[in-house]
Amino acid sequence: MVETVARESDEELSLLPHQSNGDQSWRLNFDGFQFSPEHKDKKPSPSLHDCLGVLGPEDNVAEYYQQQVEMLEGFNEMDALAERGFIPGMTKEEREDLARSETLAIRISNIANMVLFAAKVYASVRSGSLAIIASTLDSLLDLLSGFILWFTAFSMSTPNPYQYPIGKKRMQPLGILVFASVMATLGLQIILESIRTMVSNEDEFNLTKDQERWVVGIMLGVTLVKLLLMLYCRTFTNEIVKAYAQDHFFDVITNIIGLVAVLLANYIDDWMDPVGAIILALYTIRTWSMTVLENVNSLVGRSAAPDYLQKLTYLCWNHHKAIRHIDTVRAYTFGSHYFVEVDIVLPANMALQEAHDIGESLQEKLELLPEIERAFVHLDYEFSHKPEHAQAHAF
C-alpha cells in the first residue's frame, strides 16, 4: 500500500507512455543522488565471516551500499522507459547476432546430450554398473528436459485466444512438474535396486580389462565434452543457456562419481557400486525436488521481490501528473512471468476519456517490461475504502 499527498493537475494530460508534461517538478527524480566511487564499487569481500555463514560490520555496510546502487539503477531504467518508451540496450542487429549465438549454443548442447547419452547407454550395457546406470539416468533428464523446453516453447508460440485466452505459458512449469515426478520415481527405483543388490550379495562385480578400457574411455570422454560445453555456455548471459551450463556442470560431477564408484567396486569391494548409484539417485532426486518447489511457487502466485515492487511504484508515480495517489501495487508469478495489479487515484471530476487514456497508457508501459506478462490498472477517485478483493479466510 503506497499513499502520497494529493496534488492538483491543470496541465494537458499525457496519453503516450513516453510523452512528457513540460513541467517535471512533480516527478520523483534521483539524478542528484550520487555515490562516491569507494561506495559504488565496494562489494562484500570473501572473509572468515562468509565461511561461518554470517556477515561482519564492514560486509553489512558494503551490502547496504550495493543495494542502494542497484535501486538507483532500477529507477534510471524506469525513467528511460517513461521518456523513450523502451528500455535502452543493444541495437536490433546486436540482439539478432546474440540470439543466433544463443540458439547455436542450445543446439550444440542438445546434439551433444543425445550423442553422449547413447555412449553412456553403451557403457551401462558393457559394465552392468548401477552407478553408471544412475549417471545415464541423469543424462536422460537433460534430454527430456530439453524436449520439454522445446515443446512448451512451441506451444506458447502457437496461441489460441478462444481456448486459452490468457496464453499457454503455464505449460512449461506444469510439464516440468510432471517430468520431475517421473524422474523421482525412476530415482527411487534405482535406490531400491541398489539396496536389493547390496542385501542379496549376488555375483561379484568384476570387469574384464577390455570392459574397463571401454567404460573408462567413454566416461572420461563424456566428462571432457561436458566440461568444454559448460565453459562455452557460461560465456552467455541468457538464462536458458546458463541453465544448460549448470546442467553440464552437474553432469561432470555425476560422471566422475559414477566412474570412481565403478573403479572402486572393481578393485576394492562390490558394495561400492550400489552405494555410488544411491548417491547419484539421491542427488538427482534432490536436484529435481528443488526444481519442483521453484515451479510450484511460480504457479501459486508468489509475490515479486520488494525492490522490483519499488521500481513499479516509481514508474507508476512518474507516469502522469494527474495521479494523486498510488493505492496498491502488486506483482505475482503466474507461470514464468509476472501479473501486475495497480490501483491509482485520479481526480473525481476527471472526464472518463482522459482517465481511461491515462490508465491504458500505464498498462502498456508496464507490459513493456520483459518480466511482465499482463498488467491490470484499476482507476479510482479515493483511497479510503477497503480492498475490493478481500481474501476469504477459512476457519
| Residue 139 maps to a domain | yes
Same domain, 53 and 141: no
Take residue 138 and report the three cell numbers written for it. Answer: 541423469
- Chain mean position to CA 251: 20
**Phi and psi angles of residue 328, each rounded to the nearest 5 degrees, phi first:** -145, 140
Q: Given a cut of 50, is residue 3 above it in pLDDT?
A: no
Q: What angle do CA 214, 219, 220 make, to 5 degrees?
A: 100
* Rounded Cα distance, 371 and 331, in Å: 10
Per-residue model confidence as pLDDT tens digits over 194-250: 888 778 765 566 777 887 888 888 888 888 988 998 888 888 876 667 777 877 887
Contact 175, 156 (CB under 8 A): no
Take residue 208 and report the three cell numbers written for it. Answer: 574384464
- Residue in 72, 80, 78, 88 with CA at minimum distance from that of residue 32: 72
Contact 263, 220 (CB under 8 A): no
For the chain, how many structural domains are there in total? 3
Q: Given a cut of 60, is residue 251 above it in pLDDT?
A: yes
Q: Judging by beta carbons within 10 Å of its beta carbon (0-12, 13-18, 19+), is residue 255 exposed, middle or buried?
A: buried
Per-residue model confidence as pLDDT tens digits over 297-325: 778 888 888 888 988 998 898 888 999 99
SS3 content of the chain, % helix, strand, coil (to 5): 60, 5, 35
Contact 139, 117 (CB under 8 A): yes
> Integer distance in angstroms from the first to the last C-alpha of the chain?
26
Same domain, 159 and 275: yes
Q: Given a cut of 50, is residue 122 above it in pLDDT?
A: yes
Share above pLDDT 90 across residues of the chain, in percent, rounded to a whole number: 12
Which one is predicted more confidently, 114 or 156?
114
| Residue 247 maps to a domain | yes
Structural domain containing residue 373:
1-17+319-395
pLDDT score recorded for residue 285: 81
Contacts of 70 (CB under 8 A, 6+ apart): 307
pTM comes to 0.61
Residues in a beta bridge with 338: 333, 372
Q: Given a cut of 70, is residue 22 above it in pLDDT?
A: no
Which one is predicted more confidently, 52 or 191?
191
Same domain, 105 and 181: yes
Contacts of 14 (CB under 8 A, 6+ apart): 20, 21, 320, 321, 358, 361
- Residue in 245, 265, 157, 280 with CA at minimum distance from that of residue 205: 265
Same domain, 212 and 152: yes
Same domain, 105 and 250: yes
Q: What is the CATH number of the domain that holds 184?
A: 1.20.1510.10
Same domain, 131 and 222: yes
pLDDT band at 347 (very low <50, low <70, confident <90, very high): very high
Same domain, 213 and 230: yes
User: In which residue are the cell numbers 542438445 written?
Assistant: 110
Same domain, 235 and 368: no
